[in-house]
C-alpha cells in the first residue's frame, strides 16, 4: 500500500516547527531509509505516519485499495494497516508470547475477544521468524535489550501490516542480528509488498538494504531518492561533515566522514 505525504506541517505545542511542508510518496514493496541529524524530526515523522501524532496541516494518505487520509481513520483502523516500532520500548510485564499476541488486537473483535487459531498461528510464525520461540513463555522483563527489540519487531510482524514503520530498529542488536533483521525487512517488502520505512544513524547499513533514502534537513525533505543516487555532497549538507565514498565492484558504496 502506498503512503503519501501532502504538504505536511507539524510543531509540538509551543515549540518551533519540526516538519515544514513535506511532500512525498512511499511506494509499496519498497524499503525507505529516513536519515537526518538528531532532532531533525525522524521520530516525529514516523509517529505522524503511525497516527500517534496528528499534523497541524497537510495530510497523510494511505493508498489503494483504501485511499483514505489518516485523519478519517480511528486508531484501530490505522493499526489495521500500520505497525509502529518505537525507539527503545520499555518491556511490559507480559510473556513474550502474550506481548507478540498484542499485534493481533487490531484484527480481533475487541479487547475481550479470544484470539483465533489464525492469531495464534501468526504469533508462532513471528516468534519463529525472529528466532524467539524458545523464549515464548519468558517474561519480557527478563530479556536482554536485543531480545526485547526482536520481540517488539515480532509483535509488529504479527500485526501483518501493509505499512511497517520502525524507529532505529537495529538499536541494541549485535552486527549479525542487525544484518538478519535488515534481511527480514527486505523479505517482508519483497514477498508481502509491505511498505517499510525506518530511521537509522548507521548510513552504510541503511544504504545497503534500502531502496530509497529520505533526507530530512531543517524541517524539509532535502532529497527523496534511490539510494544509488546519494552523493557525498548530500551527506555533507545533511550532517555538516565532509564525506568520502568507496565504490566496490558489485556496485556497493560505502560512505565515511573525514576526520578533523
Ligand X SMILES: Nc1ncnc2c1ncn2[C@@H]1O[C@H](COP(=O)(O)OP(=O)(O)OP(=O)(O)O)[C@@H](O)[C@H]1O
Judged by CB under 6 A, does residue 42 bind ligand X? yes
Q: Which of 1, 3, 5, 18 binds ligand X (CB under 6 A)?
A: 18
Smallest distance, ligand X to C-beta of residue 42, A: 4
Q: Which of 12, 118, 190, 228 binds ligand X (CB under 6 A)?
A: 12
Q: Which of 30, 32, 43, 160 binds ligand X (CB under 6 A)?
A: 43
Smallest distance, ligand X to C-beta of residue 198, A: 12
Judged by CB under 6 A, does residue 63 bind ligand X? no
Interface stretch with ligand X, choices 11-19, 100-108, 156-164, 242-250 (CB under 6 A): 11-19
- Count of residues binding ligand X (CB under 6 A)? 11
Judged by CB under 6 A, does residue 44 bind ligand X? yes
SS (H, E, C) the chain: CCEEEEEEEEECCCCCEEEEEEEEEECCCCEEEEECCCCCCHHHHHHHHCCCCCCCEEEEEECCCCCEEHHHCCHHHHHHHEEEECCCCCCCCCEHHHHHHHHHHHHCCCCCCCCCHHHHHHHHHHHHHCCCHHHCCCEHHHCCHHHHHHHHHHHHHHCCCCEEEEECCCCCCCHHHHHHHHHHHHHHHHHCCCEEEEECCCHHHHHHHCCEEEEEECCEEEEEEEHHHCCHHHHHHHHCCCEEEEECCCCCEEEEECCC
Smallest distance, ligand X to C-beta of residue 54, A: 13
Judged by CB under 6 A, does residue 240 bind ligand X? no
> Of 11, 29, 30, 32, whose CA–CA distance to 20 is shortest?
11
Closest CB to ligand X among residues 38, 251: 38
Judged by CB under 6 A, does residue 148 bind ligand X? no
18 Rama sector, left if φ>0, alpha if ψ -120 to 50, beta otherwise: alpha
Judged by CB under 6 A, does residue 36 bind ligand X? yes
Interface stretch with ligand X, choices 39-47, 58-66, 126-134, 181-189 (CB under 6 A): 39-47
Smallest distance, ligand X to C-beta of residue 41, A: 4
Judged by CB under 6 A, does residue 90 bind ligand X? no
Smallest distance, ligand X to C-beta of residue 15, A: 5
Smallest distance, ligand X to C-beta of residue 189, A: 22
**Which residues is 10 bridged to in the sheet?**
19
Contact positions vs ligand X (CB under 6 A): 12, 15, 18, 36, 38-44
Amino acid at each position: 500500500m502506498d503512503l503519501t505525504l501532502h504538504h505536511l506541517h507539524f510543531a509540538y505545542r509551543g515549540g518551533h516547527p519540526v516538519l515544514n511542508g513535506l511532500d512525498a510518496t512511499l511506494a509499496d514493496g519498497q524499503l525507505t531509509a529516513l536519515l537526518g541529524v538528531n532532532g531533525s524530526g525522524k521520530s516525529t515523522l514516523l509517529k505522524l505516519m503511525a497516527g500517534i501524532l496528528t499534523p497541524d496541516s497537510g495530510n497523510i494518505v494511505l493508498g489503494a485499495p483504501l485511499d483514505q487520509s489518516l485523519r478519517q481513520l480511528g486508531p484501530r483502523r490505522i493499526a489495521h494497516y500500520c505497525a509502529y516500532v518505537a525507539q527503545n520500548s520499555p518491556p511490559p510485564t507480559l510473556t513474550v508470547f502474550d506481548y507478540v499476541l498484542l499485534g493481533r488486537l487490531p484484527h480481533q473483535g475487541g479487547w475481550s475477544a479470544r484470539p483465533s487459531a489464525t492469531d495464534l498461528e501468526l504469533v508462532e510464525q513471528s516468534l519463529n521468524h525472529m528466532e524467539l520461540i524458545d523464549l515464548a513463555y519468558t517474561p519480557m522483563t527478563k530479556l536482554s535489550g536485543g531480545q526485547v527489540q526482536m520481540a517488539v519487531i515480532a509483535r509488529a510482524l504479527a500485526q501483518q501490516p501493509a505499512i511497517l514503520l520502525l524507529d532505529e530498529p537495529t538499536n541494541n542488536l549485535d552486527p549479525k542480528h542487525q544484518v538478519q533483521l535488515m534481511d527480514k525487512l527486505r523479505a517482508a517488502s519483497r514477498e508481502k509488498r509491505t511498505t517499510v520505512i525506518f530511521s537509522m544513524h548507521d548510513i552504510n547499513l541503511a544504504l545497503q538494504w534500502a531502496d530509497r533514502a529520505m533526507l530530512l534537513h531543517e524541517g524539509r525533505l532535502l532529497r527523496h531518492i534511490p539510494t544509488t543516487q546519494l552523493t557525498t555532497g548530500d551527506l555533507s549538507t545533511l550532517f555538516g561533515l565532509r564525506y568520502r565514498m568507496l565504490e566496490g565492484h558489485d556496485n556497493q558504496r560505502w560512505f565515511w566522514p573525514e576526520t578533523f
